[in-house]
Structure 1
């Protein structure tokens, strides 16, 4: 039997020793970020993606083995488990093949074949399948008794049994699967009663659609399946029936007598009633799984780019959640994101108190020493931005337009209520906008990723797989950046390697009770935070202005003694090594290698000492939309506009150009050459110049081209 290590190695083509050591670490409850960053010697320097593949195939193998155990037990309980069948099940490495082996043993008692068996027609079916009898009707007449009233009924019952045998044949099923894989067509028809429904218009492209199932893009398949689930269209998967039947007949029929005629009828019945429905559903499900994987991959890439978006840093921010009738909600935040003040101003209709609003914003910025202004990009955003830019501030003021996608979800959440129990949702939403500018990662981890507004068809894909993938992305981003343990929220702390929600709460509560952590060693005092959690998480938790400078670095506490030895050998203090590239470059790392620590870890230590705690993210940059473009009506073909990429899909990138509707750069308009990967040309939140190609005002669609 194939072992776990052999299975993973065959799937990933990674070195066996790397796979084995990684599996051992995973079995020791080590996290992927910890393994990839601090166990490079054991894994052979595998990165997070490679370790993630090992995790995936480990889980896949374990699920397969669990299913095998359940199937073997079920067949054994029926008294039908032979040594040959057991061997076949045990060596199977494919879940589909495994279910095919189990198929004959999980029949419902209500099948036509089972009913025919119960009235004694299985011997007749075996005679027909032997294909040696010529006078089948005479033989069938012997079975006309009891519940069998005629020769036709006897033959029909026998054919039902034969049809079931054909359905259970692995070679027949695999041949049809092959045809499904190569030739299956997906076709759609509009539901007549829905044809004139105004809500149907969004799906009108798929009223009468036909395409090869293997070539249909993921976004189109998901759109079609959504239209079907909402009752607007009917979907059918089909192959060439005549070719399929000919293939089956060629495998089964060996004679040219009356038996062959009965078998031919049974084949048609098996194909139409059993094989085609089951295997067309299977083909569609496989296509859906591929589409899900593609959509989830796009979502994951977008989320990563969004979470690693440029932070402004610890600056005092005034944040505005703009609005017309209900006014603009204004909050002032200190450099750590704490709420200092909130108020509502009414610069826009119906009150139109722009003069009072300008005076208020100006005085607030001076009173709270504001360094930057964040404006939400929702309703009245452009008008509010124009108002703010009219103000003559005493100091230079950076003005940013910030995506508010998901801010309303956060403001009504339990997390927001716990943070601001005495403020309403409008104030909480404004705070979220301001904090997103200061640190997108720290704020966005509080929001369900599906509500952030990136990705495609996120509500149509497998929700369990989506959540798992997005959680992995968040964990990877949080640990790549590192977390200030003295300012981090419970949400942010919960994604730190080895911590989780419960320990995150314990850290937060301990901090509130005992004050700021002064060292990493003090983290061990947190209730229920044991040696394993400390090992996994300590290096990702940073202590600003700590006595030991290594506590504000990515150097793991288990490696402090190496850095201390380096400093001792040089006759220096550890603090004098920090940022001292000339000294660090001169160190002979080989003399510090041990059985467990090699050059990969030592190289990482030196890189970190050169720029300890360096944020891998770029700093936020001010961006300004064309002030003459405010609505879709202001757009004309040929215009060149500045914009920000706000979503990426498999078919192109959406760009915010300062109007309510985002424009689409179809992948064919990203480059003059063939484009296979949108992410190779643009990234989320990238500032771009685009050319307007077409404006469809009735359908509110804007077609753009990336301008080089």
Structure 2
């Protein structure tokens, strides 16, 4: 391993708490084309058991460090070409562990445009600066008289030139820049103030019209709200030390760099020059650096929140292979209905008009009963948009018309976030070319109840609506992160090769859109795959792709029993050795934990497969093809609670968590607006991260604490005391706002709409939720 690769391996090993050898093995595998899911699941011996989270961090860090090393090499060569590279400088450059530190070191050697300091040097003023530094007792004005010339016509001009040279030296000092940056990270305040005349237009940002807090403490959602307000030219933003002492300390740090502690004329001049350098040059560069860091930090935290919510949603409990009626509620345009069979195949559609203006309630109920009977419908999925509760009531009334003793389908309210995006997509048009766009949404709602993962992968992750400030964050980074979440979720669950759609297969390790489509085309042309190995007959799918994808694909009731498990074909020989040791048929053993009693994993370790793989195979034989997702459970909405007007403080309700933000969780209680359980109301203990308590898709019990009907805001609590006695009423700790939903509109990329706070009991807590959903 060369020095650069070794340096990268050691750095990453410290980050992910692993050994450099583990990192190097993983890097070699990833560089060779292996995917993170494949390496995490099937190369544990090589990596020492690094999991997918460690591997994702490794991959991200690897990219950064390789860019750092490339920049390091460029800088070394640039300084070498200038003839200024010394051993000490080389060691300093090699020791730099961040891009910022590296650029600080390079500043004095970086080619630049002609500066005021360059002009001052050309005019012979550098010796004046040295004279002031060497003789502090002499008045700088007196020393400057000796340096007047045709280009330097006055003492003031001479001293200004000397100051320019000093300022440039200070602003290019890597040591000083590093210490100032550390000082600012600890002490700086971020301040937002409204621009005069923007109060009305920017009312939604009113909590930030006069806001100040420590830069190091500001949470990502508040930082992003302030940055958005600044971008919309509602507020100005500053990042600076506390004016009461902080600025003086910063200036003192600059002065200390040149050593001017005394009261001699030269010391006073140098301190004044240091103060000027801070005010005019360094404070601005510190602002730029800290603003960049703040933006990056806020983006990463917001993206992490989105990623966690997306993972929870994708891995939500599937209702399973059961005939399902999907209903996409609507009033004027009618309720769109679509029935899919147990495999997700569309078998019937209809449009019902139980509401205004047609009010054909009886015909709507009769059609529901007819579809339920004809197709043996077991589940009814109702979209949670406008008219959701009215539609649910209509369905409940219709089901009462079924004869006594007849099995009644289970009604489930389903999030329709992204359904309209799917309906109008090229994929939906290809799948249902003759179906109206509005009816496609009903199909999506039905299928996402059967299998959320299989249906949601058809929608761009950013359109699913479980993030915050999506439009504000780095879009490339957001897309990369969300795609990784989808890939990990799909491969963790596994995919039925003979039923999966091309969009789902595209996320399987080693496949992609083109190979996934080829797999489906081959299946359509030749029928169901009898075994995994027949994948090698697919055009374009070679041994390398097969190695990556095979273990994540399942074939039920195929010619090879192990194809239904997550055992990789490369380890079938090992699995059969384990089965042979039991003395029974493989089909009899799979799924029977008792059959494997008495077997020792160590007995099956050989030169090819180590203990981790043996243990994985034993576990898989016990429960072949296990689904890591939880069992299916639904929230029961309260009867008679269908609108925000029906809510009263103190009500105890059941609901479903739809989104988790840094400041709390949004919960659907069945009234068209999601209430917010603020982080301070999630538990009877201090909660640092809402994900410690809830995740998207959880069914929870909440108590209504406050209702603001005009603003459509609902405050909820999960505390045992119902939210009473919460002493913390700061703007980021109280009960906050609802998340309105609008059916039929394209979901906002941030998942909903803005809730602005401008006073009142609820308004006191709206700073955190203010821009979350805009």
Give TM class, smaller chain.
over 0.9
Cross-structure match for 2:197? 193
Cross-structure match for 1:302? 309
Matched residues in 1 for 2:325 and 2:565: separation?
A: 31
Q: CA deviation at 1:203?
A: 1.1
* Contact 1:159 1:265 (C-alpha < 8 Å) held by counterparts: no
Cross-structure match for 1:237? 239
SS where residue 562 of structure 1 aligns?
A: helix
Q: CA deviation at 1:3?
A: 2.0
Matched residues in 2 for 1:274 and 1:409: separation?
A: 49
**2:218 counterpart (216, 219, 243):** 216
* Contact 2:388 2:672 (C-alpha < 8 Å) held by counterparts: no
* Contact 2:324 2:446 (C-alpha < 8 Å) held by counterparts: yes
* Contact 1:563 1:574 (C-alpha < 8 Å) held by counterparts: no
* Contact 2:335 2:351 (C-alpha < 8 Å) held by counterparts: yes
* Contact 2:190 2:240 (C-alpha < 8 Å) held by counterparts: yes
Range 639-648 or range 362-371, more displaced: 362-371
Residue 410 in structure 1 maps to residue 416 in structure 2: no
Q: Spell out, residue by residue over 1:599-619, the C-alpha distance to the aligned partner (whole angstroms, 9 max, x if none).
A: 221121121112211222223
Matched residues in 1 for 2:52 and 2:576: separation?
A: 29
Residue 613 in structure 1 maps to residue 625 in structure 2: yes
**1:319 counterpart (317, 326, 345):** 326
Matched residues in 2 for 1:673 and 1:260: separation?
A: 56
**2:151 counterpart (147, 167, 171):** 147
**1:368 counterpart (369, 375, 379):** 375
Matched residues in 2 for 1:40 and 1:60: separation?
A: 25
Range 392-401 or range 479-488, more displaced: 392-401
- In structure 2, the CA distance between the partners of 1:622 and 1:650, relative to structure 1 (3 Å rule), is closer
Cross-structure match for 2:743? none
Range 117-126 or range 310-319, more displaced: 117-126
Matched residues in 1 for 2:426 and 2:683: separation?
A: 45
Cross-structure match for 2:706? 694
TM-score of the two chains, using structure 1 as the length reference: 0.96
Cross-structure match for 2:344? 337
- In structure 2, the CA distance between the partners of 1:506 and 1:278, relative to structure 1 (3 Å rule), is same
SS where residue 517 of structure 1 aligns?
A: coil
**2:471 counterpart (459, 468, 471):** 459
- In structure 2, the CA distance between the partners of 1:547 and 1:208, relative to structure 1 (3 Å rule), is same
Cross-structure match for 1:112? 116
* Contact 2:467 2:661 (C-alpha < 8 Å) held by counterparts: yes
Range 306-315 or range 460-469, more displaced: 460-469
- Aligned-CA RMSD value: 2.0
Matched residues in 1 for 2:134 and 2:208: separation?
A: 48
- In structure 2, the CA distance between the partners of 1:566 and 1:261, relative to structure 1 (3 Å rule), is closer
SS where residue 656 of structure 2 aligns?
A: strand
Cross-structure match for 1:450? 462
* Contact 2:255 2:275 (C-alpha < 8 Å) held by counterparts: no
Q: CA deviation at 1:417?
A: 1.9
Cross-structure match for 2:57? 53
Matched residues in 1 for 2:135 and 2:325: separation?
A: 86
Matched residues in 1 for 2:622 and 2:222: separation?
A: 49
Q: CA deviation at 1:22?
A: 2.2
Q: CA deviation at 1:377?
A: 0.4
Q: CA deviation at 1:32?
A: 1.6
* Contact 1:330 1:342 (C-alpha < 8 Å) held by counterparts: yes
* Contact 2:105 2:173 (C-alpha < 8 Å) held by counterparts: no
Matches within 5 A, 1:100-499: 100-106=104-110, 108-131=112-135, 134-197=138-201, 200-239=202-241, 240-254=246-260, 256-391=263-398, 392-393=401-402, 394-499=406-511
Matched residues in 2 for 1:579 and 1:13: separation?
A: 36
Range 449-458 or range 349-358, more displaced: 449-458
* Contact 1:378 1:404 (C-alpha < 8 Å) held by counterparts: yes
Q: Spell out, residue by residue over 1:412-440, the C-alpha distance to the aligned partner (whole angstroms, 9 max, x if none).
A: 22222222222232122111111101110
**1:631 counterpart (643, 655, 662):** 643
Range 111-120 or range 427-436, more displaced: 111-120
- In structure 2, the CA distance between the partners of 1:131 and 1:271, relative to structure 1 (3 Å rule), is farther
Matched residues in 2 for 1:303 and 1:702: separation?
A: 24
Matches within 5 A, 1:1-16: 3-16=7-20
Residue 518 in structure 1 maps to residue 530 in structure 2: yes
SS where residue 209 of structure 1 aligns?
A: strand
Cross-structure match for 1:604? 616
SS where residue 320 of structure 1 aligns?
A: strand
Matched residues in 2 for 1:510 and 1:126: separation?
A: 80
Q: CA deviation at 1:557?
A: 0.4
Q: CA deviation at 1:320?
A: 1.0
Cross-structure match for 2:605? 593
**1:32 counterpart (11, 33, 36):** 36
Range 475-484 or range 288-297, more displaced: 288-297
Q: CA deviation at 1:107?
A: 5.4
* Contact 2:529 2:555 (C-alpha < 8 Å) held by counterparts: yes
Q: CA deviation at 1:385?
A: 0.5
Matches within 5 A, 1:550-561: 550-561=562-573
- In structure 2, the CA distance between the partners of 1:165 and 1:508, relative to structure 1 (3 Å rule), is same
**1:574 counterpart (558, 583, 586):** 586
Q: CA deviation at 1:101?
A: 0.6
Q: Spell out, residue by residue over 1:299-358, the C-alpha distance to the aligned partner (whole angstroms, 9 max, x if none).
A: 111111100011111111111111001111111212222222222111111111111111
* Contact 1:689 1:707 (C-alpha < 8 Å) held by counterparts: no
Q: Spell out, residue by residue over 1:70-94, the C-alpha distance to the aligned partner (whole angstroms, 9 max, x if none).
A: 2223334444434432332123222
* Contact 1:159 1:262 (C-alpha < 8 Å) held by counterparts: no
Matched residues in 1 for 2:138 and 2:113: separation?
A: 32
Q: Spell out, residue by residue over 1:641-670, the C-alpha distance to the aligned partner (whole angstroms, 9 max, x if none).
A: 111111111111111111122111111111
* Contact 2:684 2:719 (C-alpha < 8 Å) held by counterparts: no
- In structure 2, the CA distance between the partners of 1:414 and 1:71, relative to structure 1 (3 Å rule), is farther
